[in-house]
C-alpha cells in the first residue's frame, strides 16, 4: 500500500510544475488534481523515451527523466492568487468521502477483469519484467488479443507502482482508482461552485460526479479515461464561458492526457473539437485544442511507426446491412446507473430552456456517441456481439458530461 501511495505522490509531484505553469490562478486543490492527471501522462512519456533510448527503467532513471525536466516548468511559473472562494463542506461531502474510501477497498480486492490480465495488466507486467516497453511482445502476430494499438499510459502507470514497490503486485494498483476520483473531485468542485451558491446542491453534484467516475472493473482504462476527460470537458466549458485562456489551455492538455489512456480518448479530442466549433463558431477557439490534438496524433504516429495492429478496426463499413440488428443491440444494452440516466434526461427535458445553453457538452455527447456507432460499423468482430460487450461501458464515458448538463440546467432554472 505504501508503494501505491508513493506512486500517487510521485505522479502528482511530476505534474505539479506543469499545473502551476498552465493554470496558476486555479485553486490550489484544483491544481493538485490537475497535477495528478498531468503526471499520469508525463511520467509514462518519460518512460516511453527511456525505452526508445534503451535505458532500463529504474526509480532513478524515471526520477531523473521525469522530475528534473518537470522542475524546469517552474521557470515559466506565473503566480496569481487563487480567485475562488473557500469551499463550504456539508454532510453530503462526508458521504462522498466515505464512498471514495469504500471504493478504494473495492478496487484493492483484486484484479479479476479479463481486460486487466489480458491487456493492461499483462502489458504492464511484461514491460516490468523487460525493464522497458517490449516491442517484440506488442508486434508479435500471436498477441493481437492484447490490443497492441491501445495507448500505453495506463500499463506504464502500473509499472511505476511495480518499480516503486520493487516487485509486481497487482493488488495495490487498485489504489490508483480512488486517486483518479479524488483528482476529478478536486478539479471539478470549483467549477460546480461557480454554478450554484447552495452548499447542499454543490455537495450533491460533487457526490454525483465522484460516484459516476467509479468503475466495477479496476485494472482497466475506463475509470482513468472517464475521470480525466470529464475534468477536461467541464474545465473547457468554464474556460469558454469565462473566456479564460488558461483554463482552456489546461483543459486541452487534460484532454490530451485522456487520449493517452485509451483509444476512445482520441475520439474525445475530435468530439471536443467539433463541440467547441459548433458552440463558439470560432476556428481560433477550436484551434486552442491543439495540445490535445498533438497528444492524440503522437500516439497515432507511434501506432503507424511500430506497426501496432488493431484487433477491431478494418476501416471499412462492413456492417451497414446489420443496422436494424445494431439498433436492437444498442437498445438492449442500457447504461449503468439507469435511475440516474432517467432522472438526468427528465431534468434536461423539464429545464430544456436552460439545457439549450449547454451546447458544448451536449454536442460533445452526441458526436462522441456517433463516433462509437461509426466504429461499430467498421469492427472486424461480430457487430452485435461487440455492442453487447461494450455499449454499456461506452455510455459511461458521457455520463458525467450528461450529469453536468442536467445539473447546470436545473440550477439555472432553480434561480
Partner 1 sequence: MCVMDGRGRRRLFSALIALMAIGSVNWTLFSLPFTNLGELRATVAQVPDRAAPAYPHFLEGVRARTPAGATIAIAVPRPYAYYRASYFLTGRTLVPLSNAKDADYVAQWPMPSGSPELNVVWRGYGGVLAKRTR
CA distance 273 to 267: 10
Query: Binders of partner 1 among 63-102, rule CB under 8 A?
Result: 92, 99, 102
User: Residue 150, interface with partner 1 (CB under 8 A)?
Assistant: no
Q: Is residue 359 a contact partner of residue 278, using CB atoms and an 8 Å limit?
A: yes
Query: In the complex, what is the shortest distance from the CB of residue 162 to partner 1, in angstroms, rounded to a whole number?
Result: 11
Tell me how far, at minimum, the Cβ of 130 lies from partner 1, in Å. Answer: 7
Query: Using the rule CB under 8 A, is 413 a contact of partner 1?
Result: yes
Retrieve residue 51's grid coordinates.
Answer: 525505452
DSSP 76-119: G-------SPPP---HHHHHHHHHHHHHHHHHTS----HHIIII
Q: Which is nearer to partner 1, 19 or 192 (CB)?
A: 192
CB closer to partner 1 out of 34 and 159 = 159
User: Using the rule CB under 8 A, is 1 a contact of partner 1?
Assistant: no
- 371-400 residues in contact with partner 1 (CB under 8 A) are 399
Alpha helices per DSSP H over 306-398:
323-331, 338-350, 352-355, 359-377, 383-395
If you search the block for the grid coordinates 495528478, which residue do you land on? Answer: 36
Which of 15, 132 has the CB closer to partner 1?
132
Cβ contacts of 163 within 8 Å, gap of 6 or more: 57, 58, 59, 62, 128
For 169-190, give one letter per residue: b (16+ CB within 10 A) or e.
ebebbbbbbbbbbbbbbbbbbb
State the angle between helix axes of 245-261 and 263-280 in degrees (0 to 180), rounded to the nearest 10.
150
Q: Is 169 in the site for partner 1 (CB under 8 A)?
A: no
d(C-alpha 106, C-alpha 261), whole Å: 22
Q: For partner 1, which is the closer residue by CB, 119 or 275? A: 119
Number of residues this chain uses to bind partner 1 (CB under 8 A): 59
Q: Using the rule CB under 8 A, which residue among 150, 177, 180, 214 binds partner 1?
A: 214
Query: Is 405 an interacting residue with respect to partner 1 (CB under 8 A)?
Result: no
Asked whether 283 and 376 are in contact (CB, 8 A), the reply is no
Asked if 56 is part of the footprint of partner 1 (rule: CB under 8 A), the reply reads no
CB of 18 to partner 1, least distance (A): 31
Q: Which is nearer to partner 1, 343 or 374 (CB)?
A: 343
111/217 Cα distance (integer angstroms): 8
Beta bridge partners of residue 381, listed in sequence order: none
Residues 123 and 159: beta-carbon distance below 8 Å: no
Residue 340 lies near partner 1 (rule: CB under 8 A): yes
Q: Considering the complex, what minimum distance in angstroms separates the CB of residue 406 from partner 1?
A: 6
Segment interacting with partner 1 (CB under 8 A) among 59-67, 123-131, 287-295, 318-326: 123-131
Stretch that binds partner 1, among 4-12, 197-205, 223-231, 374-382 (CB under 8 A): 197-205
Of 49-57, 198-206, 263-271, 277-285, the window that binds partner 1 (rule: CB under 8 A) is 198-206
Nearest distance from C-beta of residue 355 to partner 1, angstroms:
9
Determine if 144 is a binding residue for partner 1 (CB under 8 A).
no
List of residues 6+ apart from 181 with CB closer than 8 A: 100, 103, 210, 213, 214, 223, 227
Listed ranges 72-80, 119-127, 220-228, 323-331: which one lies at the site for partner 1 (CB under 8 A): 119-127
152 binds partner 1 (CB under 8 A): no
- The x, y and z cell numbers of residue 17, run together, are 510544475
Interface residues toward partner 1, by CB under 8 A: 92, 99, 102-103, 105-106, 109-110, 112, 114, 117-118, 121-122, 125-126, 128-130, 136-137, 140, 142-143, 145-146, 198, 201, 204-205, 207-208, 211-212, 214, 216, 337-344, 346-347, 349-353, 399, 403, 406-407, 410-411, 413-414
Amino acid at each position: 500500500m505504501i508503494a501505491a501511495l508513493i506512486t500517487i505522490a510521485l505522479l502528482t509531484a511530476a505534474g505539479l510544475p506543469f499545473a502551476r505553469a498552465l493554470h496558476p490562478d486555479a485553486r490550489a486543490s484544483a491544481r493538485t488534481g490537475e497535477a495528478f492527471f498531468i503526471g499520469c501522462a508525463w511520467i509514462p512519456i518519460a518512460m516511453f523515451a527511456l525505452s526508445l533510448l534503451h535505458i532500463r527503467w529504474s526509480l532513478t532513471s524515471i526520477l531523473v527523466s521525469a522530475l528534473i525536466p518537470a522542475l524546469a516548468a517552474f521557470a515559466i511559473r506565473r503566480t496569481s492568487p487563487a480567485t475562488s472562494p473557500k469551499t463550504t463542506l456539508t454532510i453530503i461531502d462526508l458521504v462522498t468521502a466515505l464512498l471514495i474510501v469504500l471504493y478504494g477497498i473495492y478496487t484493492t480486492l483484486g484484479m479479476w477483469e479479463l481486460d486487466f490480465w489480458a491487456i493492461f495488466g499483462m502489458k504492464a507486467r511484461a514491460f516490468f519484467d523487460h525493464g522497458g516497453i517490449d516491442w517484440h511482445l506488442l508486434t508479435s502476430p500471436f498477441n493481437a488479443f492484447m490490443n497492441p494499438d491501445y495507448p500505453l499510459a495506463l500499463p506504464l502507470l502500473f509499472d511505476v507502482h511495480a518499480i516503486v514497490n520493487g516487485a509486481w503486485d497487482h493488488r495495490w494498483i487498485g489504489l490508483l482508482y480512488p486517486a483518479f476520483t479524488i483528482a476529478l473531485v478536486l478539479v471539478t468542485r470549483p467549477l460546480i461552485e461557480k454554478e450554484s451558491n447552495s452548499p447542499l446542491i454543490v455537495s450533491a453534484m460533487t457526490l454525483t460526479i465522484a460516484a459516476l467516475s467509479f468503475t466495477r472493473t479496476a485494472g482497466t482504462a475506463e475509470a482513468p479515461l472517464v475521470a480525466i476527460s470529464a475534468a477536461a470537458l467541464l474545465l473547457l466549458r468554464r474556460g469558454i464561458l469565462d473566456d479564460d485562456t488558461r483554463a482552456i489551455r489546461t483543459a486541452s492538455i487534460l484532454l490530451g492526457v485522456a487520449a493517452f489512456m485509451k483509444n476512445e480518448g482520441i475520439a474525445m479530442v475530435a468530439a471536443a473539437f467539433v463541440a467547441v466549433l459548433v458552440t463558439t463558431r470560432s476556428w481560433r477557439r477550436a484551434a486552442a485544442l491543439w495540445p490535445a490534438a498533438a497528444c492524440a496524433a503522437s500516439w497515432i504516429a507511434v501506432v503507424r511507426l511500430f506497426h501496432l495492429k488493431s484487433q477491431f478496426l478494418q476501416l471499412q463499413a462492413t456492417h451497414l446491412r446489420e443496422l436494424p440488428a445494431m439498433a436492437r443491440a444498442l437498445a438492449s444494452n442500457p447504461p449503468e446507473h439507469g435511475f440516474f440516466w432517467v432522472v438526468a434526461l427528465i431534468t434536461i427535458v423539464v429545464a430544456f430552456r436552460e439545457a439549450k445553453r449547454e451546447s458544448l457538452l451536449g454536442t460533445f455527447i452526441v458526436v462522441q456517441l456517433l463516433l462509437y456507432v461509426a466504429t461499430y460499423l467498421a469492427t472486424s468482430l461480430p457487430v452485435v456481439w461487440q455492442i453487447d460487450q461494450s455499449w454499456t461501458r461506452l455510455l459511461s464515458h458521457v455520463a458525467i458530461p450528461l450529469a453536468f448538463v442536467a445539473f447546470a440546467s436545473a440550477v439555472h432554472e432553480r434561480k
